[in-house]
A and B are shown apart, each in its own frame.
Chain A
Amino acid sequence: GAVVSQHPSRVICKSGTSVKIECRSLDFQATTMFWYRQFPKQSLMLMATSNEGSKATYEQGVEKDKFLINHASLTLSTLTVTSAHPEDSSFYICSARAEGAGDLYEQYFGPGTRLTVT
């Protein structure tokens, strides 16, 4: 099956700094990528949807200036948490969807990135 990777898997940063998380589709072209946030023992909350080459669409309540998303190519999307604070500590998961017969309705998920802001 299709593989989505995330880097780093874990990151610890100091309050006020910025952190970039990469999401890559390894063996398919992802026209659409999604970023989710998951709190402990809770469900996934969709943060934003991005299409290659265009601006991301953010869900209500998600600060676009704080969570910068770039989908520069069909295999790479990045999420940058700017001026991170302890409340941004969470598990961030990216997902990618390929367009095409057989894959149109399926999303593939990355392994997640654990962000801890101290």
Chain B
Amino acid sequence: AQSVAQPEDQVNVAEGNPLTVKCTYSVSGNPYLFWYVQYPNRGLQFLLKYITGDNLVKGSYGFEAEFNKSQTSFHLKKPSALVSDSALYFCAVRDKSSGYSTLTFGKGTMLLVSP
């Protein structure tokens, strides 16, 4: 069975500083990995995905994530945080056990960027 862990409930960072939101996964076979962002009372917005190819994936709003197979991680990063980046971030995975058809989400990490 596929699973995703986001070890931090909340990440606090000052505006202008780099940010990292952690994600690790457990799957059978090669994973398809995703990051989504959710603003209050809104649905999820797609940020980026890793299917294959370069381990460093660049996405929307200046975010990027690095796929690390040996550490089974897919951490989300941004070089310089903005106050407007404050939101709830979800890591998600699809794998072979579900026929790559079902997204499994982590519990989410609240990112708070202070001015």
Contacts and interface: CB of A to CB of B under 8 A. Distances in A.
Interface of A: 1, 4, 6, 32, 34, 41-44, 46, 49, 91, 93, 95, 105-112, 114
Leading 7 A-B pairs by shortest Cβ distance? A109-B44, A109-B43, A111-B43, A43-B107, A112-B43, A43-B105, A44-B105
Interface stretch (B14-22, B45-53, B65-73, B75-83): B45-53
21 contacts: A1-B46, A41-B108, A43-B90, A43-B105, A43-B108, A46-B103, A49-B101, A49-B102, A91-B41, A105-B32, A105-B49, A105-B94, A105-B100, A106-B46, A109-B36, A109-B43, A109-B45, A111-B42, A111-B43, A112-B42, A114-B41
Taking residues whose C-beta sits less than 8 angstroms from the other chain, chain B's interface range is 20 to 34
Contacts of A41: 108
Contacts of A91: 41
A93 B41 CA distance: 10
Contacts of B100: 105
B43 A93 contact: yes
A106 B49 contact: yes
Contacts of A105: 32, 49, 51, 94, 100
Contacts of B49: 105-106
A32 B100 CA distance: 13
Contacts of B90: 43-44
A104 to B, nearest CB: 9
Interface of A is mostly: strand
Contacts of B43: 4, 6, 93, 109-112
Contacts of A4: 43
Contacts of A34: 103
A116 to B, nearest CB: 12
Contacts of B51: 105
A91 B90 CA distance: 16
